[in-house]
Structure 1
Amino acid sequence: MNTADYALEITKELQRSITRISNGEADQLAEMILEAGNVFVAGAGRSGLMGRALAMRLMHLGIPAYVVGETVTPGIGPGDLLVIGSGSGETQSLVTMARKAKEIGAAVVTATIHPDSTLGRLSDLPVRLPGTPKDQQTAGSGEKATIQPMGSLFEQTLIILYDAVILRLMEQRGQDSSQMFGRHANLE
């Protein structure tokens, strides 16, 4: 296959993956963001990068959003929301964060392949996303579930979920891109 053929196969995988996202869970995530005092996002590796993208768009919407681990991130408190992206739902640093957030009185949402994982069970809302964990590249039938390496399909589905939630929030708040652009970084 050439590069364009790979790109076409990736988009086919994404189309199949996206049709498996629960509308109810995605809409509930949007509602929880609107009801939160502050929104904190976390994830390890590439899932963390997708979370950073969510935090940026929330900021563009005027919603107080922070990336866990940044030096300017305040403490989480009651009424806040922690949004975690974790394919496995078992990343120990994220499990520790979720437990701490719950102890403090914050709500936790985890977007994961495994809603029955430790993070899924700790969450107020586990959002099940299709994808393949790093160590399982074939579907149950033995056919290839994805041509992509490691957790790429999950991470791509995660950013699409996050962007879809942003569009829902834009609609609910009556905002458009031009209003959001007014909050875009201007020291670049």
Structure 2
Amino acid sequence: MNMLTVSSSILQELDRTLKAVNSDEIEALTKQITEAGNIFVAGAGRSGLMMRAFAMRLMHMGFRVYVVGETVTPGIAEGDLLLIGSGSGETKTLASMAAKAHNIKATIGVLTIAPDSTIGQLASTIVHIPAVTKDSTSGSSNQPMGTLFEQCLLLLLDATVLRLMENMKLQGTAMYNNHANLE
């Protein structure tokens, strides 16, 4: 297997999938983030890692952001945002978090393959990523399981950071003020 051919195939899948994402959904997510009191991010497995990376960038930008499940994460309240990355939109722990946040009247956003999922039905903002589900019941990909979704999730969240920076007229160098300095 030629690595350049494989890499090119992955880039083609990413390009095809990202071009199918509705830019209005990203704009709605960006607006939701800027209007939130506190921002809570959640995801499971590799999707959770992508959400944690996004939380780090939001923190660098000066947002009050927390990763659900960490010991220093406060309670969510009305006016806060719970942002979930979930390919299926059905992960039990994430659906339970969404239901609890909904009952508290927090806002819910989701990035998912399945907008009609349990989490999608609770969300006020949905970013539909038309990737492949883990069990390959939708779409096609040369990559295993949820890889295409997870890669698109990271790229869309990074693009959201750039959009937020543009809206806030924030330069990347200004973000270093919030960068870790005890390393």
Structure 1 residue aligned with 2:123? 123
Shift of 1:181: 1.5
Shift of 1:180: 0.7
Q: CA separation in 1, counterparts of 2:97 and 2:86?
A: 12
Structure 2 residue aligned with 1:169? 164
The equivalences for 1:14-163 within 5 A come to: 14-136=14-136, 139=139, 145-163=140-158
Deviations 1:20-55 (A, max 9, x none): 111100000000000000000000000000000110
AA in 1 matched with 2:111: A
Shift of 1:4: 2.2
Q: Secondary structure of 1:182's match?
A: helix
Shift of 1:81: 0.1
**Percent identical residues:** 54
Matched, 1:12 2:7: no
Q: CA separation in 1, counterparts of 2:172 and 2:114?
A: 34
- Normalising by the residue count of structure 2, what TM-score does the alignment of the two structures yield? 0.97
How many equivalent residue pairs? Answer: 183
Q: CA separation in 2, counterparts of 1:45 and 1:3?
A: 26
Deviations 1:115-166 (A, max 9, x none): 0111111111121011101111774xxxxx1110100000001011101111
Extract structure 1 runs of 4+ deviating beyond 4 A: none
Stretches of structure 1 that go unaligned for 5 or more consecutive residues are 140-144
Shift of 1:6: 1.1
**Cα RMSD for the two superposed structures:** 1.0
AA in 1 matched with 2:172: S
Call closer, same or farther: CA 1:119–1:16 in 2, change over 3 Å. Answer: same
Q: CA separation in 2, counterparts of 1:125 and 1:9?
A: 31
Q: CA separation in 1, counterparts of 2:68 and 2:138?
A: 33
Q: Secondary structure of 2:178's match?
A: coil
Stretches of structure 2 that go unaligned for 5 or more consecutive residues are none
Q: Secondary structure of 1:110's match?
A: strand
